[in-house]
């Protein structure tokens, strides 16, 4: 997932961006409304975290302009303004959720996951491709019951490929969603990570899942099934 973080407080921006990157999100950080609109116009984002009190235009105006331009990505307003009228204004301008400062980082992560699980969103709770299982909440990957140890960036790549299983994705699209704006398009970093991931998920398996389509990109094959399973405890409560 590639996120746009719009926050003019450098301390908060560093804290939030660091935490999100540790959770395998790619994050672009800007500090003004003008920068936010520019970045959203030239990049593809899966979600935006938008502070209200930023240099002009403010967060409300940015949210309104993004929606007017046809941007459909979920928008989470993140601000110290907690009055009811401010929350109503943010939602009326097109925001999907509203989180006030100070906040617990765990709650921010939970709200992001909830936004991305909504109908039309991009992140189901669990993605299954053949015998490969990607748990997007716990960020765990297993194949045939075997746990696969991945770095944060390797996990991000696997999740993106799994969400696009059966479809060939090129280097540019991978860079757009898995890396941030500092990615060097002339490097071989994507190839390096694809090879690492391939060795890990296909190790010991008779059927390779990650395939290279020369000249086109990469595809995760094997027949797909996307699920959003409840936890065992939730099922048990429902059965009681």
List, in order of start, the domains of the chain with CATH numbers: 2-117 (3.40.50.2300), 126-227 (1.10.10.10)
Cite the beta strand spans of the chain per DSSP E. Answer: 2-6, 26-30, 47-50, 75-79, 97-100, 126-129, 132-135, 140-143, 146-148, 210-213, 217-220, 224-227
Contacts of 195 (CB under 8 A, 6+ apart): none
Residue 202's Cβ-count burial label (10 Å; 0-12, 13-18, 19+) is: middle
pLDDT values of the chain reduced to their tens digit, one per residue, 240 residues: 899 999 999 999 999 999 999 998 999 999 999 999 999 999 989 999 999 999 999 999 999 999 999 888 999 998 887 777 888 888 888 999 999 888 999 999 999 988 987 655 445 578 899 999 999 878 899 999 999 999 999 999 999 999 889 999 999 889 888 988 778 878 899 999 999 999 999 987 888 999 999 888 999 987 444 444 443 434 343 443
Task: Work out the end-to-end distance of the chain between its first and last CA atoms, rounded to an integer number of angstroms.
Answer: 37
Position 88 scores a pLDDT of 86
Is 150:197 a contact under the CB 8 Å cutoff? yes
Distance (Å, whole) CA 233 – CA 33: 44
Is 76:50 a contact under the CB 8 Å cutoff? yes
């Amino acid at each position: 997932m590639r996120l746009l973080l719009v926050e003019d407080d450098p301390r908060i921006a560093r804290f939030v961006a660091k935490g999100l990157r540790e959770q395998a999100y790619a994050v672009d950080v800007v500090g003004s409304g003008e920068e936010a609109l520019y970045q959203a116009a030239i990049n593809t984002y899966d979600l935006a975290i938008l502070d209200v009190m930023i240099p002009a235009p403010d967060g409300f105006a940015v949210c309104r302009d993004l929606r007017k331009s046809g941007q459909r990505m979920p928008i989470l307003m993140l601000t110290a303004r907690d009055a009811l009228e401010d929350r109503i204004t943010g939602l009326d301008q097109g925001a999907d959720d509203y989180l006030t400062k100070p906040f617990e980082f765990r709650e921010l992560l939970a709200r992001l996951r909830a936004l991305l699980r909504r109908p039309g969103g991009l992140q189901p709770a669990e993605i299954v491709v053949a015998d490969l299982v990607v748990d997007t909440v716990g960020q765990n990957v297993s194949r045939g019951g075997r746990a696969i140890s991945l770095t944060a960036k390797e996990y991000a790549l696997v999740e993106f490929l799994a969400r696009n299983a059966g479809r060939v994705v090129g280097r540019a699209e991978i860079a757009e969603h898995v890396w941030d704006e500092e990615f060097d398009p002339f490097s071989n970093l994507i190839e390096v990570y694809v090879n690492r991931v391939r060795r890990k998920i296909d190790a010991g398996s008779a059927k390779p899942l990650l395939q290279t389509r020369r000249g086109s990109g990469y595809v995760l094959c094997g027949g797909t099934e996307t699920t959003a399973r409840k936890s065992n405890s939730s099922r048990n409560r429902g059965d009681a």
